[in-house]
Amino acid sequence: MLDIKFLRDNPDIVKQNIKNKFQDEKLPLVDQVIDLYNQSLDAKQRAETLQANRNTLSKQIGVLKGQAKKNPAEAGELEAKIAAITAQVNAEAEERKVLEDKADDLSRQVRSIMLQIPNIIDPSVPIGPDDSHNVEVQRFGEPKTPDFPIPYHTDIMEKLGGLDIDAARRVSGNGFYYLLGDIARLHEAVLAYARDFMIDRGFTYVIPPFMIHGDVVEGVMSFPEMDAMMYKIEGEDLYLIGTSEHSMIGRFKGQILEEEQLPQTLTSYSPCFRKEKGAHGIEERGLYRIHQFEKQEMIVVCKPEDSMDWYEKLWKNSVDLFTSMDIPVRQLECCSGDLADLKVKSCDIEAWSPRQQKYFEVCSCSNLGDAQARRLGIRYRESFVDAKGKKKSKTVLAHTLNNTVVAPPRMLIALLENNLNEDGSVRVPEVLRPYMGGKEVLAVKG
């Protein structure tokens, strides 16, 4: 969410940003919210003027009452003046209440509209209407294709005795799965390795709540994202998280951190629950788009001047992790039209699929600037020296960033395809073997 004062002072910048995101239907919101904000300021100022006048009139009443006690002969005349002033105070009190209610209503309207206006994107973001205009930046690792056919990932898993989708459909419906045996163990090995990988890079491991209140949902994501993703608990103000970023950022809601507490570098595990609305093609069957999965995430809360450096570090962590498991990847810069409204800059890390002969998304790294911090009130105390040489402090909105570490079982697709042997067995990457009891190969089940 933008600062309303910035929007009012820079409407043309905000409108151009909306155009750059190909959301022209939101252009009228800029002038509308400025008008509502000005009306709210006017109502507040008039209410404050009436309150100041009440204070003045109250003092006059006190003076008149004192005079009436000292001069009984003038008491009648003075009582009449007191009654007139009291009537004015009461009338202005009613008017002030109307103005305060109007100001509160206008402020709610302003916030509602501000939540719909996208964040200002970074100048480096490529301009384009949708993900077809995302830009490949660089590749890591050599994409290879074996000289034998690679089955669909569900077939690979089933031959290893590791997947039962039919039973999951009977129990839960489409978009669910049972992982079994070596595949289930591999799934957990990847998560454990990712956890230790991030801890070794200085991140603090966290297991957060898996349900959050509605005000936290509003603070961390846009309405279209919420509608497309979140499951709500019926009869309660609780939502199942779609990613641990939601509850991790929510942890700092309404907090003022000390400067020395930043950056907060955290890696969190959670199950994730998503509606995944819409139809999906053949490459999104199986375990590509599902309603329930587990994920390791990385979260950073930092000073504004440090956020772009952390953005670079976060996506590079993903590259290092995947290439350590012998999975070639590429970095794809997200264009303006593919950015969610809260994002300043974002890139995807995509893994090579030898079967599809293309890359597909396995991580998404995002810098959200101060958008989430403004919605949730996440600040830190910054020290500075004023013009007179005195040391002072002020509160400043923090910046927030997030990136996927790994999200199995989707990433297992890339792992299995890139480590598949011709006989259907799968080589276990060396870094995962300690988490698999030393096992080097997953064998086909008879």
Active site residues: 274, 289, 361, 364, 410
Residue 368 tokens read as: 């959200």
Residues with Cβ within 8 Å of residue 110, at least 6 apart in sequence: 4, 33, 36, 37, 40
**Closest among 236, 188, 177, 175 to 211, alpha carbons compared:** 236
Closest by Cα among 132, 129, 89 to 336? 129
How far is 257 from 250, CA to CA, in rounded Å? 14
d(CA 363, CA 320): 12
**CA–CA distances in Å: residue 394 to residues 75, 261, 375, 381, 387:** 54, 15, 19, 6, 15
Q: What is the DSSP letter of 342?
A: T
Residue 274 three-state SS: coil
Q: Determine which helix (DSSP H) or strand (DSSP E) holds 256, and give its type and residue range.
A: strand 256-258
Strand order in the sheet with 211-212: 211-212, 239-240, 231-232
How far is residue 182's CA from residue 341's CA, in Å, rounded to a whole number? 40
The answer to whether 439 and 182 have CB atoms below 8 angstroms apart is yes
Closest Cα to residue 275, out of 313, 226, 316, 317? 226
How far apart are alpha carbons 298 and 103 in whole angstroms?
40
Which amino acid is located at 367 in the chain? N
The count of residues in the chain is: 446
42, two tokens: 């006017």
Q: How far apart are CA 92 and CA 154, in angstroms?
A: 73
Name which of 435, 354, 440 is nearest 184 in CA terms: 435
Instruction: Verify cis geometry, omega within 30 degrees of 0, for the bond prior to 149.
Output: no
